[in-house]
Structure 1
C-alpha cells in the first residue's frame, strides 16, 4: 500500500488547538539573496533564546533569514501547563506558514520530534534534526544513568530535571553552564508522557531532504538513537565528537551550524 498524506483531520476540526501568544526571534541578512528562511525550534525546557545566543545572527550573516520560536509554555510564549505534542506542532506550523517563503525547519532535542511531526502538515523546503529525541526507552535509560535525581520525578508526573553533564561539554565554563541551566523552563506533564510513547510518524509532505546532526558524546541521545533517527530518512547522522547535547550553546557552536548551512546551500542552490 502506498503512503498517503492526510489532508483533513477530523479531530483537529472538532477540537482545535487553543491559540496562544508565540515568541518569535529573528535575524535578517544584510542583503536578500533569495535563500529560504530557517525556522529554529528548541527542545523541551528550552526557549528561542538558545538560538539567539549565537545561531540566528550567524545564519543571517550567511544569507539565511533566521527565526526561532518558543513553543507554548517556553520562553516568552504564553503559558500552557497542559500543552501537548499536537499543540507544539501547531505552533511550529503556524509560524512557518507566516514566513515570507517556504521555510527550512530545524528542531533540537524533543523539538526534533516536533519538527518531524510538523513535516506531515507543512511542506518544508528541508529539515534538520539536531540531537533529536524521538521518545521511547533509549533516552529514558540514558537519562536515568546520567541524571537519576532529575529523571525519576518525571516518571511520576513531576518536572523533568536536566543537569550540566547532560547538556554541555566539559569545555563550557561552569559559570556559563549555570547561567543557561537557570533559564530552562518547565514542560507540561502531558507533553513529557507523550514523548515516551514513541508513536509512529506520518510521512512528510513532499518528501523534503532531512539531515540529522548530533554528537556521539551526547548524554541525552545515545548513538543508536541518532542512527535510528537518520535511518528514517535513509541517511547517516553527521557527528561532532566532543560536543554536548545543546550543540547551539557549546563553545564549538559554529561547527555544526556551518555544516548545516553548507548542506542547505548544496540542497537549495540559489
Structure 2
C-alpha cells in the first residue's frame, strides 16, 4: 500500500531482534552534491567486502556515497547462528536509517530477498535486485540439478556451497576465483530454510522504482527467474551475457554497475 510505513509491529515489540555489531564499509565521493547514498546488501555467505572490491569505489567515483553492510553472521559483523530473514532485514533497515539521506538499496543474490523485505519498512529512493535469489522450491530444484554435491548438505542443515563455474565466468582467472571462494562463509541454517519457503515480502513503502539486473548465463539464477522477478515490479531485467552469478566480482564487473548508476540518473533518483 502506497505511503505505508510500519516501522514497529507487534512482533517487533514482543520479540525484538537482538542487537549485533554491524560491519559497514564505505567509499565516499570527493565532493557531496546531494546524491542519494547507495546501500549494498550482499547475499548469503558473502560479506560487505564483495562490494568493496570494485563497486563501492566506482560508485563513489560517479558521485554516489556508497556503503555496504555485512548481514549478521557474515563478514565482520557479529555472530548470529540463529538469525532469520527478519533479523537480516532489520540489519538493512538500521544501516539505511543511519545514512545521511534516504538511500537506494542494492541487494545481490539472497540479499535481494532481504532487500525486498526491508522495503516494507524503509522508504527507499529506489532498489536494485542483482542476480536475485528470491527463494522457493524451484530454487532448490535448480540448485540440485546444477550442483547436487553442494546443495544436498544444505537440505540437511549444512552449508550451501557453489563452485567456481557457478559463481564466475571463465573470463575471471582461476586463482582470483578461488581466492574469492575461500573468503565466503554461510548463512544461518534457519535463514537457509526460510529461503526455500519463499516468505512473501509485504508491499514496499511508497512506490520506489526497482531494477532487476542479472546474466542469462548465471548458473544459479536462470533467465526465467530473472524475468519473474522483474515482472513483479512491472519491468524487464537488464541482462549482461557472459557473466556469472557474482557480477560485482566477475571479470566484467564494470558494465553492470555503470548500467545501474546510469539507470539511477535516468530515474531522477540522483
- Report if aligned partners of 2:54, 2:248 keep a CA contact under 8 Å in 1: yes
Query: In structure 1, how many angstroms separate the alpha carbons of the residues matched to 2:139 and 2:16?
Result: 31
Pairwise CA distance, 1:31 = 1.0
Query: In structure 1, how many angstroms separate the alpha carbons of the residues matched to 2:200 and 2:84?
Result: 16
Pairwise CA distance, 1:234 = 0.4
1:50-107 Cα shifts (integer Å, max 9, x gaps): 0000000000000000000000000000011111000000000000000000000000
Partner residue of 1:29? 29
Residue 240 of structure 1 pairs with residue 250 of structure 2: no
Query: In structure 2, how many angstroms separate the alpha carbons of the residues matched to 1:74 and 1:238?
Result: 28
In 2 relative to 1, CA 65–4 (structure 1 residues): closer, same or farther, beyond 3 Å? closer
1:151-195 Cα shifts (integer Å, max 9, x gaps): 001001111112111110111111001000000012100000000
- Report if aligned partners of 1:138, 1:225 keep a CA contact under 8 Å in 2: no
Query: In structure 1, how many angstroms separate the alpha carbons of the residues matched to 2:131 and 2:231?
Result: 14
Pairwise CA distance, 1:215 = 0.4
| TM, length-normalised to structure 2 | 0.97
| Secondary structure at the counterpart of residue 106 of structure 1 | strand
Partner residue of 2:161? 161
1:14-163 equivalent positions in 2, closer than 5 A: 14-163=14-163
| Secondary structure at the counterpart of residue 248 of structure 2 | helix
Residue 227 of structure 1 pairs with residue 252 of structure 2: no
Query: In structure 2, how many angstroms separate the alpha carbons of the residues matched to 1:155 and 1:10?
Result: 32
Query: In structure 1, how many angstroms separate the alpha carbons of the residues matched to 2:2 and 2:32?
Result: 37
- Report if aligned partners of 1:138, 1:222 keep a CA contact under 8 Å in 2: no
Structure 2 segments unaligned to the other structure (5+ residues): none
Pairwise CA distance, 1:3 = 7.2
Query: In structure 1, how many angstroms separate the alpha carbons of the residues matched to 2:156 and 2:265?
Result: 45
Pairwise CA distance, 1:199 = 2.1
| TM, length-normalised to structure 1 | 0.97
Pairwise CA distance, 1:138 = 2.4
1:209-235 Cα shifts (integer Å, max 9, x gaps): 000000010011111111111011000
| Secondary structure at the counterpart of residue 102 of structure 1 | coil
Pairwise CA distance, 1:4 = 8.2
In 2 relative to 1, CA 31–156 (structure 1 residues): closer, same or farther, beyond 3 Å? same
Query: In structure 1, how many angstroms separate the alpha carbons of the residues matched to 2:174 and 2:124?
Result: 38
Q: How many residues align?
A: 269
Partner residue of 1:198? 198
Query: In structure 2, how many angstroms separate the alpha carbons of the residues matched to 1:192 and 1:170?
Result: 28
Structure 1 segments unaligned to the other structure (5+ residues): none
Query: In structure 1, how many angstroms separate the alpha carbons of the residues matched to 2:37 and 2:4?
Result: 24
Query: In structure 2, how many angstroms separate the alpha carbons of the residues matched to 1:242 and 1:151?
Result: 24
CA RMSD of aligned residues (A): 1.2
